[in-house]
Amino acid sequence: MADEDALDIWPPPGVTGPPLLSEKFDRRIITGIRHSVGAIASAAGLAGQRLDDFILAVNEMMTNAVRYAGGWAG
Amino acid sequence: MTSPELGEHISFPFDSDAATLSFTAGFVANGIRRHHRVVLITHALAPADLHALLAARVPAFAAAVDAGQVLVLPATAAQLLGGSFDPDRMVTDFDVLIARTRQDGYAGLWVSADMSWATPDVPGVERLFDFEAASSARLVGGPVAAVCQYDRRLFDAAFVDQACARHPLTPGQAPLRFAANAGPGVLVMSGEADLTNREALAAVLDPLAGMEDDVTVDAAAVRFADAGAAQLLARLAWRRAGRRTEIRCSPAIERLLRAIGADNVAQVTIEPAYG
């Protein structure tokens, strides 16, 4: 569910090319997004401890967002 | 998840009549085939209506009802008996049901409950979430598998999310499975632990905190644990300070546990294992 609003901050400094994943999420789908992040990051070449760390970091950011922000407007 | 293993506690949120009926029909058909007693608790539909719908979809249904293998009960005769929700009464009633299931020669008891009765006006409903979490712990290693079906059209999203987090298993969310047959004080867990099953994990770990003997949590087959789940494991060890706690887990979870200081707790062993 790519959304133009979500891409306003793209690209971050020093990054070229399209985002590999752009999704809105809520509590119900953090597990599924985490799986997608793992598959995409792995396909992009991340492996081992760096891959574990990246998946965990994204998971914790999503978890904090759904716990303390709650969801998207509208 | 229409064919659970005994000990599993599953939430099934649904948003259409077709979805709940299809799930329930699959659940009943599998339960009959696997020789379990199947108890369906219904609220949105009258028992006779659910019976008719299932009889049209599950070939063996009517015969299984006649034989006493399948029971269809209204919530007013179960969770809502006497007009209020009383978790203590539920536990007592289930013990009776389990004993009868054994006497009647069934290997296990499968329960599917339509949770539509759990509206804010029901006396005692404020105890539902604690009951759901405690049920996740109580069912581990026992002869019961239970599915709680929540109608998303009836409850707000936050309520359903909170309910689901108290079940180790919800379709599409992180699955956790537990086994308690590896000996006293040993809990074996597998799957994934994140925000979507955190309260269930907390409830399953809780009874281990008070055990006098050594405790081993064998999480070697856990593929992912988030920081909240790691915190629960660390907290278990901390609550047991002075008594031995061993946590077996993947190298990734071991690093996470050390990062949050779990290895500073007295008498804890964090053992890397490959699941």
Of the candidates A28, A49, A59, which has its C-beta nearest B226's C-beta?
A59
The mean pLDDT value of chain A amounts to: 86
CATH topology of domain B9-164: Rossmann fold (3.40.50)
The region, left, alpha or beta by phi > 0 then psi within -120 to 50, assigned to residue A71 is left
Of the candidates B192, B228, B252, which has its C-beta nearest A31's C-beta?
B192
ipTM for the whole complex? 0.90
Neighbours of A47 (CB within 10 A): 9
Which regions of chain B carry the CATH code 3.30.750.24?
A: 176-272
Residues of B in contact with A67 (CB under 8 A): 195
> What SS3 class is residue B42?
strand
Put simply, the answer to whether A31 touches B173 (Cβ < 8 Å) is yes
Whether residue B114 contacts residue B42, with contact meaning beta carbons closer than 8 Å, is answered with: yes
Put simply, the answer to whether A32 touches B172 (Cβ < 8 Å) is yes
The residues, any chain, with a CB within 8 Å of residue B59's CB and separated by 6 or more, are: B29
pTM of the model: 0.94
pLDDT for the residue numbered B32: 97
Residues of A in contact with B173 (CB under 8 A): 28, 31
Sign of CA dihedral B260, B263, B266, B271: positive
Q: List pLDDT tens digits, range B91-129.
A: 999 999 999 999 999 999 999 999 999 999 999 999 999
Put simply, the answer to whether A63 touches B256 (Cβ < 8 Å) is no
pLDDT for the residue numbered A6: 56
Put simply, the answer to whether B252 touches A49 (Cβ < 8 Å) is yes
B255 touches chain A (CB under 8 A): yes
A67 touches chain B (CB under 8 A): yes
pLDDT for the residue numbered B253: 95
Q: What angle do CA B10, A68, B116 make, to 5 degrees?
A: 35
CATH topology of domain B176-272: Transcription Regulator spoIIAA (3.30.750)
Which regions of chain B carry the CATH code 3.40.50.300?
A: 9-164
Task: Tell whether A74 is covered by a domain.
Answer: no
Q: What angle do CA B107, B57, B62 make, to 5 degrees?
A: 55
Distance CA A6, CA B60 (A): 51
pLDDT (tens, 9 = 90+) of chain B, 275 residues, equals 999 999 999 999 999 999 999 999 999 999 999 999 999 999 999 999 999 999 999 999 999 999 999 999 999 988 888 899 999 999 999 999 999 999 999 999 999 999 999 999 999 999 999 999 999 999 999 999 999 999 999 999 999 999 999 999 999 999 999 998 888 899 999 999 999 999 999 999 999 999 999 999 999 999 999 999 999 999 999 999 889 999 999 999 999 999 999 988 878 898 888 65
How many domains is chain A partitioned into structurally?
1
Of the residues A50, A59, A66, the best mutation for testing chain B's interface (the one with the most B CB atoms within 10 Å of its CB) is: A59
Q: Per-residue pLDDT for A10 more than 80?
A: no
Count of alpha carbons within 13 angstroms of residue A57, beta-carbon side: 7
B 77-96 residues inside an 8 A Cβ radius of A: none
pLDDT for the residue numbered A3: 52
Range of the domain at A10: 4-68
Q: Per-residue pLDDT for A5 more than 60?
A: no
